[in-house]
Structures are given as C-alpha cells and as structure tokens.
Amino acid sequence: MRLGVLDIGSNTGHLLVVDAHGGAAPLPAFSYKEPLRLAEHLDDEGAVTQPGVDALTAFTAQALVVAEDKGCQDMLAFATSAVRDAVNTDAVLDHVHAVTGMRIAVLAGEDEARLTFLAVRRWFGWSAGRLAVFDIGGGSLEIAGGADESPDVAWSLPIGAGRLARQFFGGGPPDDDAIRGLRKQIRAEIARDAGHLLRAGTPDHAAATSKTFRSLARICGAAPSADGPLVPRVLEREALREWIPKLCAMTPDALAHLPGVSPSRTHQIVPGALVAEAAMDIFGLAALEICPWALREGVILERLDQISVLG
C-alpha cells in the first residue's frame, strides 16, 4: 500500500510518501518538506504564535494535496516536541483540523523514543544485541535502550538543538560564558536519568538518528548522503570533541559551507554538537553508528505490524 507520513517536527514539516508492505522495507517514493521552525514560533508564555499556526496549517493543506496526487491510500500524521510542549496545543491542532480536515496526533516523548528505537532495531537487526539509540531533534533528545524490538527504557529530554539555540544564542553568536552554561545544563539534564540506561551495562551497539547527528558525522568525515543509505557512517567522540571549538568560533556563513549543514540549521550545529558529545561522554560511548531510519520509519513499521495482526 502507499502511505503518506506527515511528520510535524520542531524544525521541519515533512511528508514522506512510501510504498509499504508487510515483511519488506518501506520504500520511499516521494518527499515534500518545508522549514516550519515551530520551536522558534513560540511566545514568552510558550504558545505557538499566529504566524506559526498559519505556517503549519498551510503546510498541512499542501501536504494533503501532494499525498492525493501521489496516490496515498492512508495518511499518518503526528507532531513532536514543539507542538507537544506548547501551552495551546489543542487550539493549534483544532485549527489545523478545521481548515484542512486533517487531525494531527501528538506523540508523547516516550513514544517518540520507542518508535525510533523500533526503526533502528529493524535496520540493524538482532545481531546488534542490546541496543542504545539517541535522537537529537529540534525540541528534544530521545534516548532508548533494550535487547528486543520494544525498548526496556525510553525517555525524552527538553534539550533539542533548536530549543537550546533559541534559549542560549538568541542574541547572536555564543560567547565562552554561554557555551559553558549550555554545556553544564545539557550534562545535568542527561546525567539525571542516565541510570535508566546504564544499569543494564554497556550496550552491544550504540546508534544515532536525526539530521543533527547526520550533519555532525558528515562534518567529522562520514560519507556523504549521495553515497546511499547502505554505506556505514560513524560519529566518533574524539573527532567531535576536536571539532567543537572550531564550530563555536565559526560564523553562520562559514558553518553553512560545512559538508552536511544546511543554511537553515547553522544556528543549531553548536548546541547539537554539545548534546551529542555529552551523551557519548555520560554513557561511555566512543562512537555512534548513524542509522538512516528514524521516527517516520518507526511509525510506518508499527502501522504495518498493526495491519498484519488485523489481517
């Protein structure tokens, strides 16, 4: 069947059209996305502003047109951190539904971590053993670990790259004090619940997903996306540690010219790098393997599993 998966993230709205069948890998057929940057469309009270609501509504309406044009039989629509954490979530999604007819579900942080873990498990398979998975989004960091398809532990932390960029670097390039304060906050957030994952010991395999991790791996020397998804890509802690001072000193224009970095995400590179380094340090991981599958694939796989059971 042909599925449309509408992912409303903190940075980007993304419609992924896939040909999906039980027992087979979802095959991407078409992709449509726009940089909504909802995490930056929040007022002082934490509400999504009217420009943010308008952008989300317009994108959803256009995504439905694209999905229809591409022959989608079903649509799965969900929103993550920026919408989830807003104080006016229900009003925003009710407005989108009233205008477009599409009801967007809100994924809890734990579910986001769980579904991402499912996708990574299916990608690497059982030979990966006990698996730890990290995903840096625009609004949150998801962590999950376990030996099965469902993780034993899964949780979400409000330290996404976009959220931190807005909180700490909203006034311009970061100075040393801002970097130090951000680093301290990130490590305290991650360390607080680190025992959830550490109690089971060092994982057999540690993986990362998301645009932030892919960009950091590319900066540190991983193969470009043009080489295809089957090429192994790894982010090494020591390489990232060497790059962080350089990244902190670079202008947005210089960051935009780095391999794997899009101009719309330059402000998130330093916060994302600090989150990645902290996670690897605290969990004792020398490297993370980059997985091309993430949350969207997890949503698709769970849907296919449900259809298989019902069928």
Q: In this structure, what token pair is assigned to residue 262?
A: 């899009």
**What average pLDDT does this structure show over 27-37?**
94
Q: In this structure, what token pair is assigned to residue 98?
A: 């009233």
**What average pLDDT does this structure show over 159-163?**
93
Q: In this structure, what token pair is assigned to residue 182?
A: 């951000």
What does the mean pLDDT of the chain come to? 94
Amino acid 42: pLDDT: 87
**What average pLDDT does this structure show over 218-228?**
96
Q: How confident is the model at residue 310 (pLDDT cuts 50, 70, 90)?
A: low
Angle at 285 between CA 233 and CA 137, to 5 degrees: 65
Amino acid 247: pLDDT: 95
Alpha-carbon torsion angle 296, 223, 232, 114, nearest 10? -20
Terminal CA-CA length for the chain: 14
Amino acid 279: pLDDT: 98
Q: How confident is the model at residue 261 (pLDDT cuts 50, 70, 90)?
A: very high
pLDDT exceeds cutoff 80 at 311? no
Amino acid 309: pLDDT: 65
**What average pLDDT does this structure show over 181-186?**
95
Rounded to two decimals, the pTM is 0.95
**What average pLDDT does this structure show over 113-126?**
97
**What average pLDDT does this structure show over 8-36?**
92
User: What domains does the chain contain, in order, with CATH numbers?
Assistant: 2-107 (3.30.420.40), 109-295 (3.30.420.150)
Closest CA to 156 of 126, 192, 180: 192
**What average pLDDT does this structure show over 244-271?**
93
